[in-house]
């Protein structure tokens, strides 16, 4: 379908509008993170990094930050490992109904997080398990697993089957062949999957909010800070988190696009 000049210009405009709507609040936040006023009001008074210094020095975010880093790392490792196993099986099994199983694995992507959070909370309550970061770990693994499976499945499908078969024919067990042939061939995809799932887990709020009690993550800390009254350090923290996530996201994307195999 040919797109003529006018609709193309309209599409361009639409695209720019969408980008602006997404990024404008972030830009505003970033600008105000340098404002010396205690309140987020105009006129904008330029010129301080005080809020950035406070984020790191006054310690109110350190517990949340530490928890989030640990949690996101654990979630990313788990999801990448399970995701690899799932993806490998999906690519290599000859079982009927593979498409259906694939859909089933990927379906959680479409389920609203609120539902995931609530149902997991109720489920664990029924089992008599108290909310904690451990439950958040499980919940977030469920949440990011489809991403891991999807990414790794695409990569594994690109590896010629003959490489593994050659390895078997030369005497390797199936597990050994995976370690010697498949894993090295998807090392960048694995790293990218780790980073991507880490980013998603690090930013995730809903599941964490429902499944933890006393140990809080950074997004929960930010939220509670916001509801109890505005604190200018939030702007600085938000900007930091945004840049952090964006960097990781771009890194993951770059890794995915990189060819593991010549």
Partner 1 sequence: MRAKSVKLRGVSKLFGEFEAVKPLDLSVAPGEFLTLLGPSGCGKTTLLRMIAGLEHVSQGRISVGETDVTSLPPNRRDISIMFQDYALFPHKSVNDNIGYGLKMRGVVRPERDRASAEWLSRMGLTEYGRRMPGQLSGGQRQRVALARALILEPGVLLLDEPLGALDANLRRQLQGELKRMHRDIGLTFIAVTHDQEEALTMSDRIAVMRDGRIEQTGTPREIYDRPLTEFVARFIGRCNVVEGKAGIFDGQTLEVETASLGRIRAHAVNAPTMGSRVSVAVRPESIIPFAEGAELAVEDAVFAGGSVRLDLRTADGSRIEVESSRGEPVPVNGEKLRVHVPDLAATVLARTS
Residue 152, SS3? helix
Q: Name the DSSP letter for residue 262.
A: -
Report in angstroms how near the CB of residue 257 gets to partner 1 at its nearest. Answer: 18
Report in angstroms how near the CB of residue 191 gets to partner 1 at its nearest. Answer: 14
Residues engaged in binding partner 1 (CB under 8 A) = 160, 162-163, 165-172, 176, 180-181, 184-185, 261-262
Q: Which is nearer to partner 1, 47 or 171 (CB)?
A: 171
Q: Which is nearer to partner 1, 7 or 184 (CB)?
A: 184
Q: Which is nearer to partner 1, 181 or 234 (CB)?
A: 181
| Angstrom distances, CA of residue 166 to CA of 31, 91, 216 | 58, 18, 50
Report in angstroms how near the CB of residue 199 gets to partner 1 at its nearest. Answer: 27
Report in angstroms how near the CB of residue 198 gets to partner 1 at its nearest. Answer: 25
Report in angstroms how near the CB of residue 50 gets to partner 1 at its nearest. Answer: 50
Q: Which is nearer to partner 1, 38 or 176 (CB)?
A: 176
User: What does the buried/exposed string (b/e) look like for 160-172 if buried means 16 or more CB atoms within 10 Å of the residue's CB?
Assistant: eeeebeebeeeeb
**Angle CA(252)–CA(255)–CA(260) in degrees, nearest 5?**
150
Q: Which is nearer to partner 1, 9 or 187 (CB)?
A: 187
- CA distance linking residue 29 with residue 238, whole number of Å: 8
Between helix 98-106 and helix 62-92 the angle, nearest 10°, is: 170
């Amino acid at each position: 379908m040919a797109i003529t000049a006018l609709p193309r210009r309209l599409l361009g405009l639409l695209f720019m509008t969408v980008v602006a709507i997404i990024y404008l609040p972030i830009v505003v936040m970033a600008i105000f993170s340098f404002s010396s006023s205690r309140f987020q009001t105009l006129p904008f008074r330029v010129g301080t990094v005080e809020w950035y210094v406070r984020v790191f020095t006054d310690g109110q975010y350190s517990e949340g930050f530490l928890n989030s880093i640990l949690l996101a790392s654990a979630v990313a490792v788990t999801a990448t490992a399970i995701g690899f196993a799932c993806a490998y099986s999906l690519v290599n099994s000859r079982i009927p109904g593979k498409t259906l199983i694939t859909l089933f694995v990927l379906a959680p992507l479409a389920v609203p997080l609120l539902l995931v959070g609530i149902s997991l909370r109720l489920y664990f309550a029924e089992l008599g398990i108290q909310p904690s970061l451990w439950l958040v770990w499980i919940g977030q693994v469920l949440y990011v697993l489809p991403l891991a499976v999807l990414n790794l499945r695409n990569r594994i499908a690109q590896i010629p089957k003959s490489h593994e078969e050659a390895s078997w024919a030369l005497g390797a067990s199936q597990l050994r062949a995976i370690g010697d042939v498949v894993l090295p061939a998807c090392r960048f995809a694995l790293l990218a999957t780790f980073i991507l799932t880490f980013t998603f887990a690090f930013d995730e709020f809903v599941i964490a909010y429902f499944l933890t009690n006393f140990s809080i993550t950074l997004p929960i800390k930010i939220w509670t800070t916001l509801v109890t009254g505005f604190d200018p350090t939030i702007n600085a923290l938000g900007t930091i988190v945004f840049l952090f996530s964006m960097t990781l996201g771009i890194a993951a994307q770059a890794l995915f696009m990189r060819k593991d195999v010549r």
